Amino acid sequence: MVDGPLLPFDAGKPSVARLHDYALGGKDNFTVDRAMAAELEEIYPPAVALARDSREFQARAVGYVARQGIAQFIDVGCGMPTSPATHEVATVVNPDARVAYVDNDPMVITHTAALLARPGRVAAVPGDVCRPRDILAHGELTALINLSEPFCLILGVILDFVRPAEAEKVMAVLRDAMPAGSFVILCIGISNGAAGIAKDWDKAYCGVAKMYLHSRDQIKGYFTGLEIVEPGLTEARNWRTGQPHASTAPLPIDALAYVGRKPR
């Protein structure tokens, strides 16, 4: 890990943020990212669809939380700017909604600051999910988000790159810092008995990031003490789609969604 929250920029090496940007149809990615995305998709063809499922779930979840009266959002591991972005969804419900976008990729911070930052409404905050206290203490975040008032913490496909034992500690710090009435939105990868695929995928990520597929029990543990929003832990594509009969079965490697609220 580098000394500061930002990773060094290397245009010749794929980045997780740019891989997701490509999967979501964005343009802020390089040839090396597209080549790696093709390799990952060859190993596991649903990979791109899962990235889109995760993003669409996040938009639905943000809309739900905003309708519960939450106007502050901290989007950790936000990735490259894409639409609909968190602030776009939240401000449809509440024009005064505020969003702090947090990432450790320098290209993400640069692009977010250039394209999205709006004084008093949207900020780009350098931060590493493994350093939650530093994120919550960062001046650009505290200038925008009142941590004594309920807020929503978003962890969209970011704990996949954190060891489960460390993820548990990260979540404990964040839960303790959240005032009553706050929400957590989580999307995370899981292996449903597909150890071989997971191993090949992890090997493909070698040199870029280390992936960890967390168990359902581990994921549920991250929400200890929180009230779980229905339908509970489920596939991202099945979470509150508004189409009750459209649920699909789990995939060998899937994206799970979870939303919880800290009791008042």
pTM of the shown model: 0.92
Residue 3 has pLDDT above 60, yes or no: no
Q: Are 198 and 191 in contact (CB under 8 A)?
A: yes
Q: What is the CATH number of the domain that holds 255?
A: 3.40.50.150
Q: How confident is the model at residue 155 (pLDDT cuts 50, 70, 90)?
A: very high
Tell me the mean pLDDT in the region 195-199. Answer: 78
Domain-embedded: residue 172: yes
Residue 89 belongs to a domain: yes
Q: Judge whether residue 18 has pLDDT over 60.
A: yes
Tokens read off for 147: 């941590």
The number of domains in the chain is 1
89/193 Cα distance (integer angstroms): 35
Task: Let me know if residue 149 belongs to a domain.
Answer: yes
The answer, yes or no, to whether residue 132 has pLDDT greater than 90, is yes
The boundaries of the domain holding residue 72 are 16-240+247-261
Residue 184: both structure tokens together? 């957590």
Q: What percent of the chain has pLDDT over 70?
A: 97
Mean pLDDT over the full length of the chain: 90
CA 233 to CA 259: how far, in whole Å? 8
Residue 10 lies in a domain: no
Q: Quick one: what percent of the chain has pLDDT higher than 90?
A: 62
Q: Is 56 exposed, middle or buried (0-12, 13-18, 19+ CB in 10 A)?
A: middle
**Across the strands, what pairs with 188?**
256
> Residue 73 — very low, low, confident or very high, per pLDDT cuts 50/70/90?
very high
d(CA 131, CA 69): 28
pLDDT at 205 over 80: no
158 in any annotated domain: yes
What's the whole-number mean pLDDT along residues 185-194? 89
6 found inside a domain:
no
**Paired strand residues for 156:** 187
Domain presence at residue 194: yes
Q: Is residue 70 part of a domain?
A: yes
